[in-house]
Structure 1
Amino acid sequence: MKLVGPWLSGYTRRVGVTLNLLNIPFEHLPYHAYRQPERVAAFSPMKRVPALQLDDGQVLIDSGAIVDYLDSLVPAEQRLMPADGPERVRAMQLVAYAAACYDKLARYCDELMLRPESHRLPHLQAGYLEQMQAGFGVLNAAHAEPWLLGARISQADIMTVIAFQSAAVVMPHAITGDAFPQLARLAQRAMQSTAFSSTVPDLSDLQASGLVGTNGGV
């Protein structure tokens, strides 16, 4: 399999972490949709990442569809989403909150990257931050031990850690471990696994994106 997209993309990272946790071999092609659109288009005509080229040449896009497919490749006891019942509903709730936080972060970043400073809309940025803080508040209160659903790691943990870490890098003044201590502990626990630690974006990539300065701040 070939995974197309940089770790800077949280949804690409979600797929990479999933592949790692499920012990599915893959080749990572860190093509950036903005900087290398022609390379991405060879796999994803809409130039969207992540894209996963399967061993038979077919390509899946959309991280939700991809991780659902990957779960189908492994025995039930290894899957990262519960099959049914209340536990599945709970996992879906948490994944949705984490993905919503990440999407609001992406919109916040678009304001920073795509609009000249004189044309930015502070009320939009404030609204995105408020929504993120509300979503992370729900996730922070949802903790169990050691993972969000209890004994086993799930897609809820993967998406939550990625969203929280991404927001903490871009908005270190607002999304902090002090504000969300349970999420900080969850991220620390996850980073003890190479499945997560091997997919962290390089600081130089973050700086090149314009999302953080040379000191790591916005």
Structure 2
Amino acid sequence: MKLVGPWLSGYTRRVGTTLKLLNLPFEHLPYHAYQQRERVKAFSPMMRVPALELDDGQVLIDSSAIVDYLDSLVPPEQRLMPAGGPERVRALQLAGYAMACYDKLARYCDELMLRPEAYRLAHLQAGYEEQLLIGLGVLNAAHAQPWFLGPRISQADVMAVIAFQSAAVVLPHAVNNEAFPQLAALAHHAMQLPAFSSTLPDLSDLQASGLFGADANA
């Protein structure tokens, strides 16, 4: 399999982390949809990342679809989403909040860094930041011990760590270990695993680029 997209894209990092957690071999092609459009287009006609080219040549886009497919390749006990019951509902709830946080962060960065200064809308930035902080507060209150589902890591943990670490770079005054201690502990625990530490982008590049990007174009 070939994973297209840079670790700067949190959703690409989500897929890469998942591949590594599931011990699925892949080749990483860190092409950026803004900077290497033709290379991305060769795999993803709409120039969306992440894109995952399967061994038979088919390509999946959208990180949620990709990680769902990857779960189907491993035994049930290894999967990162429970098959059903209360655990699945909790994982879906928290993964949803984490993805919503990352989406608000991406929109905040687009407004701040991609839109010309004269056309920036301060009320949008403030609204995105407010929603982001609310969502992180929900995740922080979930008290991962050490993961949200106790001893079992799930997609909720993967996306929450990515959202928290990315937001801490862009909004360090509001998103930090003191403000969200439970999320900080979750991220620290996750970073002990190579699946997380090996996909961590250069955080200074994250801050400078503004290219967090949702699945649409990162």
Shift of 1:89: 0.6
Distance in 2, Cα, partners of 1:209 & 1:86: 39
Shift of 1:191: 0.4
Q: Deviations over 1:99-152 (max 9, x none)?
A: 000000010000112222232111111111110110000000012311011111
Counterpart for residue 157 of structure 1: 157
Distance in 2, Cα, partners of 1:163 & 1:204: 16
> Identity of paired residues, percent?
82
Counterpart for residue 23 of structure 2: 23
Counterpart for residue 141 of structure 1: 141
TM-score (norm 1): 0.94
Counterpart for residue 100 of structure 2: 100
**Bigger RCO of structures 1 and 2 (CA < 8 A, at least 6 apart):** 2
Aligned pair in 2 of structure 1 residues 93, 27: CA closer, same or farther (>3 Å)? same
- State whether structure 2 residue 199 is matched by structure 1 residue 199: yes
Shift of 1:206: 2.6
Root-mean-square deviation (CA), in Å?
1.4
Is contact 2:112-2:125 (8 Å) kept? no
Counterpart for residue 215 of structure 2: none
Is contact 2:98-2:139 (8 Å) kept? yes
After TM superposition, list the pairs within 5 Å mapping 1:103-122 onto structure 2. Answer: 103-122=103-122
Distance in 2, Cα, partners of 1:210 & 1:135: 20
After TM superposition, list the pairs within 5 Å mapping 1:172-187 onto structure 2. Answer: 172-187=172-187
Distance in 2, Cα, partners of 1:150 & 1:90: 11
The worse-fitting range, judged by mean Cα deviation, of 108-117 and 185-194 is 108-117
Counterpart for residue 79 of structure 2: 79
**Paired residues, number:** 212
Shift of 1:77: 0.3
SS at match of 1:90: helix
* Structure 1: runs of 5 or more not aligned: 212-218
Give the letter aligned to residue 56 of structure 1: D
Aligned pair in 2 of structure 1 residues 210, 95: CA closer, same or farther (>3 Å)? closer
* Structure 2: runs of 5 or more not aligned: 212-218
Give the letter aligned to residue 63 of structure 1: S
